[in-house]
């Protein structure tokens, strides 16, 4: 049975392994990531140590082979031939040849028989660059943990006592190769090889500055590459930091100003020239800030409107109550009680509508939309209303089904609220005995619900104002306070939450009256523009 928690444990391990402390800025992280790659490249310096070891191993084998060949050749030579051979080999191979007898005494030295074929360099005579190179050699040896190499010094005595490789070669009867550092830290390779069967030993000595120079040249080339790569990486990191971090910092500063509310005209950079994710973030954040500012302004305006709307019935109610104790006339007292009751009803209606308007956005954001046949919904609501109309003789509401499908995606209760508000508004403006028509149709552009009345209509200049909260144009003869002025505002809010539109148009038949049109996208369609 598989464990579904394993990927989560792996993800947690990965996040811990690559955890960045929170106080590391994005610039530091970008620079660190790029420098890690440069650090891996710089690790090639350590590879050069293995390269040097390979070169030395080759020279050790060469010294061993040359020594064996020379020893075998000298075993069959007399003294004069040996001296000539030592001088010739020393000059040709650039090495120093010594021969010791069985007692350890020096028999011949090629440097004493002819001019030296090489000379060890005195560090005091070298340039500062070479001095720095030697310090770098020591630093690399220390970092890689290279074994300590003894310094080469010429023995004070000319016999074999100062050469431990000779003693080791005689003790084991085989060739022995030793490695030391010259004063300038170039390799000095010595090889001790038995000669013949009479106990003689041949000692060859060669300085190999070419090995050190080859390693230093490779190290210098690598250092130049690393330096150029480091410079380029730093410049690239700073460029990325400017490209990524600076816009983010601008957005952070704008966000702080928006949060503090110190500047209502905060300009959030939109970065229109950037088509990447930073630009998308900037534009989304700018739109969010604008929407937030509009929402704050709307809340402030709504609060002011609420206070204003509540003051009128409260003032009327207070006046009626204050006057009630001073009035003795029963008829006048009855009128005052009626005014107070009317004001209480008005306050109750206002508070209910205000509460509904204030929470409708939050409720719609959490609502789960479903497929709804808007025509069936309207027909059912109009049918139920027709029963009530027959009883109280209000204007008649008629439903007409238009062509096309009328299936939308939304919240049925809220869409029913929209239809009720539109019908209530149309009925209130219709004359006695008038007719309100509800028409639902659909086409490829969406679903259209129209509510038409036979009232005086709405002037073009007022068609947007009627959707403002607490804006109410009362029909003739209607009692003051019968409408809160929130019905159409709530209806438009619900329409917008369903990606639709609620507008006012002229009647299609040209007759007098208003026509409120709700346009919604068909189920699975696009937002209505």
Q: How far apart are CA 342 and CA 256, in angstroms?
A: 48
**Structural domain total, the chain:** 3
345 and 418: one domain?
no
Of the two residues 200 and 367, the one the predictor is more confident about is: 200
pLDDT digits (tens, 9 = 90+) for 121-134: 988 888 888 888 88
Q: Which residue has the tokens 């038995």?
A: 194
Contact of 37 with 255, CB cutoff 8 Å: no
Q: How far apart are CA 500 and CA 522, in angstroms?
A: 10
Neighbours of 276 (CB within 10 A): 11
pLDDT higher than 90, residue 138: no
**Final residue in a domain of this structure, among 186, 203, 219:** 219
Give helix 412-429 / helix 330-366 axis angle, nearest 10°. 140
Alpha-carbon torsion, ordered 429, 430, 431, 434, to 10 deg: 180
pLDDT digits (tens, 9 = 90+) for 32-73: 766 666 666 666 666 677 888 888 899 999 999 999 999 999
Q: How far apart are CA 221 and CA 245, in angstroms?
A: 35
CATH of the domain at 96: 3.30.450.20
Percent of the chain with pLDDT over 70: 79
186 and 323: one domain?
no
CATH of the domain at 408: 3.30.565.10
DSSP 432: T
Closest CA to 211 of 147, 137, 104: 137
Contact of 266 with 258, CB cutoff 8 Å: yes
Structural domain includes residue 263: no
334 and 443: one domain?
no
Segment 191-210 shows an average pLDDT of 92
Sign of the C-alpha dihedral computed for residues 110, 114, 119 and 125 taken in this order: positive
391 and 306: one domain?
no
**Final residue in a domain of this structure, among 365, 388, 412:** 365
471 and 346: one domain?
no
53 and 73: one domain?
yes
Q: How far apart are CA 23 and CA 513, in angstroms?
A: 67
pLDDT digits (tens, 9 = 90+) for 426-471: 888 888 878 889 999 988 889 999 999 888 888 887 777 777 766 6
Structural domain includes residue 15: no
Q: How far apart are CA 174 and CA 178, in angstroms?
A: 13
Structural domain includes residue 348: yes
Domain assignment of residue 355, given as a range: 268-365
Predicted TM-score (pTM) of the model is 0.47
Using DSSP's 3-state secondary structure scheme, residue 103 falls into coil
378 and 361: one domain?
no
Specify the pLDDT at position 334: 81
Structural domain includes residue 34: no
In terms of DSSP bridges, do strands 407-410 and 370-373 run parallel, antiparallel, or are they unpaired?
antiparallel
Q: How far apart are CA 175 and CA 421, in angstroms?
A: 111
Structural domain includes residue 252: no
Q: How far apart are CA 138 and CA 131, in angstroms?
A: 11
Q: Provide the pLDDT confidence category of residue 150 given band limits of 50, 70 and 90.
A: very high
Q: How far apart are CA 296 and CA 309, in angstroms?
A: 20
Structural domain includes residue 296: yes
**Final residue in a domain of this structure, among 219, 251, 281:** 219
353 and 418: one domain?
no
125 and 189: one domain?
yes
């Amino acid at each position: 049975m598989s464990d579904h928690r394993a990927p989560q444990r792996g993800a947690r391990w990965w996040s811990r392994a690559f955890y960045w402390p929170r106080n590391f800025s994005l610039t530091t992280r970008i620079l660190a990531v790029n420098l890690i790659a440069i650090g891996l490249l710089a690790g090639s310096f350590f590879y050069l140590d293995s390269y040097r070891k390979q070169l030395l191993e080759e020279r050790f084998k060469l010294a061993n082979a040359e020594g064996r060949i020379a020893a075998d050749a000298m075993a069959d030579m007399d003294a004069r031939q040996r001296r000539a051979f030592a001088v010739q080999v020393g000059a040709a191979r650039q090495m120093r040849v010594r021969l010791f007898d069985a007692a350890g005494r020096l028999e011949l030295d090629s440097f004493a028989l002819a001019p030296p074929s090489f000379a060890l360099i005195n560090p005091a005579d070298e340039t500062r660059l070479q001095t720095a190179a030697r310090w770098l050699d020591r630093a690399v040896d220390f970092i890689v943990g290279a074994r300590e190499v003894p310094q080469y010094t010429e023995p004070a005595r000319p016999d074999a006592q100062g050469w431990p490789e000779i003693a080791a070669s005689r003790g084991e009867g085989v060739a022995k190769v030793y490695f030391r550092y010259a004063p300038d830290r170039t390799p000095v390779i010595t090889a001790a090889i038995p000669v013949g069967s009479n106990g003689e030993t041949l000692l060859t000595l060669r300085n190999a500055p070419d090995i050190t120079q080859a390693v230093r040249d490779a190290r210098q080339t690598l250092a130049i590459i690393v330096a150029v790569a480091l410079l380029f990486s730093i410049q690239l990191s700073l460029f990325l930091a400017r490209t990524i971090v600076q816009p983010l910092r601008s957005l952070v500063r704008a966000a702080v100003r928006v949060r503090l509310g110190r500047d209502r005209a905060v300009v959030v950079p939109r970065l229109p020239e950037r088509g990447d994710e930073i630009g998308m973030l900037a534009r989304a954040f700018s739109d969010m800030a604008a929407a937030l500012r509009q929402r704050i302004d709307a809340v402030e305006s709504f609060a002011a409107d609420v206070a204003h709307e509540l003051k009128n019935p409260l003032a009327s109610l207070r006046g009626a109550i204050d006057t009630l104790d001073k009035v003795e006339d029963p008829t006048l007292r009855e009128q005052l009680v009626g005014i107070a009751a009317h004001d209480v009803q008005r306050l109750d209606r206002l508070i209910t509508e205000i509460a509904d308007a204030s929470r409708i956005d939050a409720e719609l954001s959490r609502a789960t939309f479903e497929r709804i046949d808007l025509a069936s919904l309207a027909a059912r609501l109009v049918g139920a209303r027709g029963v009530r109309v027959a009883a109280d003789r209000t204007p008649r509401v008629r439903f007409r089904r238009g062509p096309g499908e009328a299936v939308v995606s939304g919240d049925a209760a809220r869409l029913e609220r929209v239809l009720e508000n539109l019908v209530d508004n149309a009925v209130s403006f219709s004359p006695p005995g008038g007719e309100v028509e509800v028409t639902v149709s659909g086409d490829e552009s969406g679903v259209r619900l129209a509510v038409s009345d036979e009232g005086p209509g709405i002037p073009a200049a007022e068609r947007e104002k009627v959707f403002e909260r607490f804006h109410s144009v009362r029909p003739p003869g209607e009692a003051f306070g019968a409408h809160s002025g929130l019905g159409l505002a709530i209806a438009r809010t619900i329409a917008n939450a369903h990606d639709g539109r609620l507008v006012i148009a002229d009647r299609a038949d040209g007759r007098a009256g208003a026509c409120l049109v709700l346009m919604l996208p068909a189920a699975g369609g696009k937002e209505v523009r």
